[in-house]
């Protein structure tokens, strides 16, 4: 329900959903075309209904769930995963993680993606305990640390960047204290060797790199990261931590454009077959036929990923062969964002690209040529970067909103008239008249220093928006973690989106610090003997008491 309303309506209609089980607070976000059952307000009526379990009517080949992924034509596509697919994955990943009973699994990601299924189904099918971590726990480092200290986890799966945001600044024993006791599973994006070494250095749990597209059910390859396995991979020239070898009952092929298997060390497209391959795309037979094909008698999914085999048989991810990218663990088709941009009347041309920051994080950047007639004349000005960000945010999920909007006079073109994506400028190199306003208070100065460090900028004005500077939810977690340590206050993730400038956030921080001081003063005064509650209140207002205290 965090998705824009139009996108949510489209998915509900395509999936043929008739009833949604939810809570009262979310009912208003759902279209009127579905019946809504609010568990929190209709509990008494539900208790009066038939209490026996219904007869199981599902077969292994029936669809267990549909997950929507980004689509290059501007319309997300729903992947139909069967019960048999889920059971296969759960048994296979259970064989890797071990068959211990009674373990504690952490679910730290949205159910709108399958990243968390690595914890969800193994917990339920092994008699374990599933910890469904709240949004505040997974977005506020101090709360996360408190939770896992109080409720130790055995297995937790996250994207590498999400984990880094939650444990930023912790090393050695501090890091070990907030990691699970048995396995930290990382997936959704490439794992850097330097990050893997930091986790290994903590020495508190085993580290598993996990790879797989939604179309093959959660994940198909695993690689246990150890000092030795990293050394072997890098000896063979691996640039990232390998994704490993296929799970049981899964088949992997590395092929060239003609379908011939590539020899060891030579990159090719990754084809995946076996028990995890999903039914296809819901109500999209043409797209299903394109991506789910036959290879030597085996039904396979064409991933579009470029990989290569290392001499020991492990697979190394080498990038994409198309415009699909991964951003914070989510799959994104650049064409879908460009489609939304093209619908804005103030946009003449656009292109979207992925840029890597100095610390290896992947960020989306949109390059826009504004319409100089029509829209500009009607609005007395050309469209601005801020207006474009708002337009995209109203139509696409947060992870698909570009971190930067770069306004250009023209897009670079190749000799045959196509956009030259390699010539698109680095967003930091494009001069922007940002109306810079310097920090004016001590709080603003300290906040600016935090933003500069996290957003990797040379200068940030106190009236600039966190989103238009390239901020997103994972960077917001890092900001709030540093803010908590420096100011001694804890703010929810929503703070950086409700008050997106340093000037606005500084007011919130100052008010919260005043509240903390007032609570501390009240507690100190209340502990003083001989003072009544009324005396305490007068002292807090600097009024004299009857005792002259």
CB 105 within 8 A of CB 155: yes
Q: How many Å apart are CA 8 and CA 359, to the nearest integer?
A: 34
Left if phi > 0, otherwise alpha if psi is -120 to 50, otherwise beta: which for 491?
beta
Residue appearing with tokens 């730290």: 108
Closest-CA residue to 214 (of 190, 187, 175): 187
pLDDT of residue 538: 63
Per DSSP (E only), the strands in 212-284 are 221-225, 245-246, 250-255, 268-274, 280-281
Please give the structure tokens belonging to residue 440. Answer: 């004016």
N- to C-terminal Cα separation, the chain: 55
Q: How many Å apart are CA 107 and CA 115, to the nearest integer?
A: 9
CB 372 within 8 A of CB 349: no
Q: How many Å apart are CA 447 and CA 443, to the nearest integer?
A: 6
Residue appearing with tokens 């907030």: 178
Left if phi > 0, otherwise alpha if psi is -120 to 50, otherwise beta: which for 92?
alpha
pLDDT of residue 549: 40
Cβ neighbours for 233, distance < 8 A, ≥ 6 positions apart: 241, 242, 310, 314, 316
Cα angle 154, 159, 163 (rounded to 5 degrees) comes to: 65
DSSP 57: -
Please give the structure tokens belonging to residue 81. Answer: 């995963």
pLDDT-flagged residues of the chain (< 70): 1, 72-74, 358-360, 376-377, 380, 415-417, 429-435, 525-549
**Backbone angles phi and psi of 64, in degrees to 5:** -90, -40
Please give the structure tokens belonging to residue 10. Answer: 């489209």
pTM: 0.77
pLDDT of residue 531: 60
Please give the structure tokens belonging to residue 204. Answer: 């508190």
CB 508 within 8 A of CB 502: no
pLDDT of residue 110: 85
Q: How many Å apart are CA 305 and CA 215, to the nearest integer?
A: 13
Please give the structure tokens belonging to residue 459. Answer: 């200068």
DSSP 326: E
**Length of the chain measured in residues:** 549
Number of Cβ atoms within 10 Å of the Cβ of 210: 23
pLDDT of residue 46: 85
Sign of dihedral through CA atoms 83, 84, 85, 90? positive
CB 169 within 8 A of CB 481: yes
- What long-range pairs does 192-200 form, CB within 8 A, spacing at least 24? 192/160, 192/240, 192/241, 192/360, 193/230, 193/234, 193/240, 193/241, 195/160, 195/164, 196/225, 196/230, 196/241, 197/227, 197/230, 198/171, 199/175, 199/225, 200/225, 200/226, 200/227, 200/230
Closest-CA residue to 127 (of 102, 94, 163): 102
Q: How many Å apart are CA 104 and CA 396, to the nearest integer?
A: 34
pLDDT of residue 382: 85
Residue appearing with tokens 């469209």: 383
């Amino acid at each position: 329900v965090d998705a824009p309303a139009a996108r949510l309506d489209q998915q509900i209609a395509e999936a043929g959903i008739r009833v949604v089980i939810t809570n009262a607070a979310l009912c208003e976000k759902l279209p009127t075309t579905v019946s809504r059952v609010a568990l929190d307000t209709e509990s008494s009526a539900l208790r009066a209904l038939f209490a026996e379990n219904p007869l199981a009517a599902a077969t292994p080949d029936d669809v267990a769930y549909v997950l929507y992924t980004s689509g290059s034509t501007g319309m997300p596509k729903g992947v139909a995963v069967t019960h048999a697919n889920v059971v296969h994955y759960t048994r296979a990943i259970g064989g890797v993680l071990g068959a211990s009973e009674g373990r504690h699994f952490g679910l730290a990601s949205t159910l709108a993606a399958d990243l968390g299924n690595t914890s969800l189904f193994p917990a339920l099918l092994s008699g374990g305990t599933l910890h469904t971590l709240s949004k505040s726990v997974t977005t506020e480092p101090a709360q996360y640390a408190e939770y896992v200290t109080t409720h130790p986890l055995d297995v937790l799966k996250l994207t590498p960047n999400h984990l880094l945001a939650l444990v930023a600044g912790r090393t050695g024993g501090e890091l070990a204290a907030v990691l699970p006791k048995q396995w930290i599973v990382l997936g959704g994006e490439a794992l850097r060797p330097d990050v893997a070494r930091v986790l290994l250095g903590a020495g508190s749990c085993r580290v598993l790199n996990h790879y797989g597209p939604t179309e093959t059910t959660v994940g198909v390859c695993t690689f246990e990261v150890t000092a030795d396995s990293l050394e072997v991979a890098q000896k063979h020239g691996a640039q990232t931590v390998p994704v490993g070898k296929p799970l049981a009952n899964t088949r992997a092929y590395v092929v060239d454009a003609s379908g011939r298997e590539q020899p060891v060390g030579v990159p090719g497209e990754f084809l995946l077959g076996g028990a995890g391959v999903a039914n296809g795309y819901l109500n999209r037979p043409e797209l299903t036929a394109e991506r789910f094909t036959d290879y030597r008698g085996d039904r396979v999914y064409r991933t579009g990923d470029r990989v290569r085999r290392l001499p020991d048989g492990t697979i190394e991810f080498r990038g994409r062969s198309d415009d699909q990218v991964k951003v914070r663990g989510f799959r994104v088709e650049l064409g879908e964002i460009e489609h939304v941009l093209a619908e804005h009347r103030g946009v003449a041309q656009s292109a979207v690209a992925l840029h890597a920051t100095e610390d290896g994080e992947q960020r989306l950047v949109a390059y826009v040529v504004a319409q100089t007639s029509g829209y500009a004349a009607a609005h007395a000005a050309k469209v601005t970067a801020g207006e474009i960000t708002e337009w995209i945010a109203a139509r696409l999920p947060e992870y698909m909103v570009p971190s930067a909007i770069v306004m250009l006079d023209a897009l670079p073109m190749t000799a045959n008239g196509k956009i030259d994506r390699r010539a698109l400028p680095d967003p930091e190199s494009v001069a922007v008249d940002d109306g810079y306003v310097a920090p004016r208070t001590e709080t603003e100065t300290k906040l600016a220093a935090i933003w500069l460090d996290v957003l990797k900028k040379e200068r940030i004005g106190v009236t600039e928006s966190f989103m238009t500077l390239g901020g997103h939810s994972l960077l917001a977690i890092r900001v709030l973690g540093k803010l908590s340590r420096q100011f001694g206050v804890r703010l929810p993730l929503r703070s950086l989106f409700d008050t997106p400038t340093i000037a606005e956030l500084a007011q919130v921080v100052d008010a919260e610090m005043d509240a903390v001081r007032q609570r501390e003063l009240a507690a100190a005064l209340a502990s003083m003997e001989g003072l009544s509650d009324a005396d305490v209140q007068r002292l807090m207002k600097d009024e004299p008491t009857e005792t002259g205290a």
